[in-house]
Amino acid sequence: MTTAGGSLASSPHSPTETSDSQAHPHSFSSSFASDRTSQLPRSQTLLPTIPVAAETATMTTSPRTILFVTGNANKLKEVRAILLSSTQHTENANPAATPSFSVESQDLDVPEVQGTTEEVAKAKCKAAAEIVGGPCITEDTALAFEALGGLPGPYIKYFLKAVGLEGLNNMLAGFPSKRATAICTFAYSAGPGTEPLIFEGRTEGKIVQARGPTHFGWDPVFEPDEGEGKTYAEMDGVAKNKISHRYRALDKLRKYLLE
């Protein structure tokens, strides 16, 4: 991959995640964070990195940095927590003897296209890789209402901003089905000019009247089937991160990066 201090090691394999193409594993250099920071324009700031334990004891002991393109502090916090939790609970993992992922965040103004969740994710990740000049990951979420044929889908944040939590419920007034699917799509680019790989996670549930804290998007109106009657917002972070759409997508990405 093309980035200061970066390195790329690959061997052919077929990723287990949802993807339209074959992929090759990539390792991130421990010097990526410091080199990338020195090259950024002053208008672009990076949030602090937090080490996340990896699982493969045979790899180098230098931390590997993942550049996550997001300006959402709640997403960043959840991604770091999921990575740490999933690596600690992996069979035969030995965190004390293994390297770390450190998740670095950069907020970019990336144009968003219209299309399917996969088309939106790939376009966003391609644009981000061109801007940062190196490897990066992006994330998009969607909330698909069964009664509306999959809408709002990847445009949920615009619907939420326009009509609010109550409005999301009102959209389903008169429809017998309140079923919904929460979808998370992570896209990984090895750098400018490369085709992003897609890692998707889904969690089934239903839309309910808002319950719980309202600081994290549409969490208060989504009650997952595996949530024991609680909305995402009512669940504690540890419980949510075991069943969430974000966890399922990110765990596929994590496994790919460690192969």
255 is in an annotated binding site: no
71 is in an annotated binding site: yes
191 is in an annotated binding site: no
70 is in an annotated binding site: yes
218 is in an annotated binding site: yes
What average pLDDT does range 12-24 have in this prediction? 39
251 is in an annotated binding site: no
| Whole-number Cα distances in Å, 5 to 25, 155, 244 | 18, 37, 34
75 is in an annotated binding site: yes
217 is in an annotated binding site: yes
Q: Which of 29-38, 62-71, 193-202 has the lowest mean pLDDT?
A: 29-38
Q: How far is Cα 237 from Cα 259, in angstroms, rounded to an integer?
A: 27
Q: What are the structural domains, with CATH classification, of the chain?
A: 32-258 (3.90.950.10)
Segment 160-205, tens digit of pLDDT:
999 999 999 999 999 999 999 999 999 999 999 999 999 999 999 9
Tokens 């992922």: give the residue: 101
How high is the pLDDT of residue 86? 57
Segment 74-93, tens digit of pLDDT:
888 888 887 776 555 444 55
141 is in an annotated binding site: yes
109 is in an annotated binding site: no
User: What element of type H or E holds 252?
Assistant: helix 245-258
Structure tokens at 50: 């937090």
Paired with 46 in beta bridges are 106
Residue 138 has pLDDT above 70, yes or no: yes
How high is the pLDDT of residue 203? 98
pLDDT level of residue 72 (50, 70, 90 thresholds):
confident
Q: How far is Cα 198 from Cα 176, in angstroms, rounded to an integer?
A: 33
**For the CA atoms of 179, 73, 66, 116, what is the dihedral angle to 10 degrees?**
30
164 is in an annotated binding site: no
241 is in an annotated binding site: no
246 is in an annotated binding site: yes
| Inter-residue long-range contacts of 126-130, CB under 8 Å, 24+ positions, other chains counted | 126/189, 126/196, 128/69, 128/189, 129/189, 129/190, 129/191, 129/192, 129/194, 129/196, 130/192
From 150, 146, 251, select the one nearest 201 (Cα to Cα): 251
**0.85 surpassed by pTM:** no
**Whether residue 196 has a cis bond before it, omega within 30° of 0:** no
| Inter-residue long-range contacts of 34-39, CB under 8 Å, 24+ positions, other chains counted | 34/5, 35/3, 35/4, 35/5, 36/3, 36/4, 36/65, 36/67, 36/104, 36/132, 36/134, 38/4, 39/4, 39/133
Inter-residue contact 235 to 220 (CB < 8 Å): no
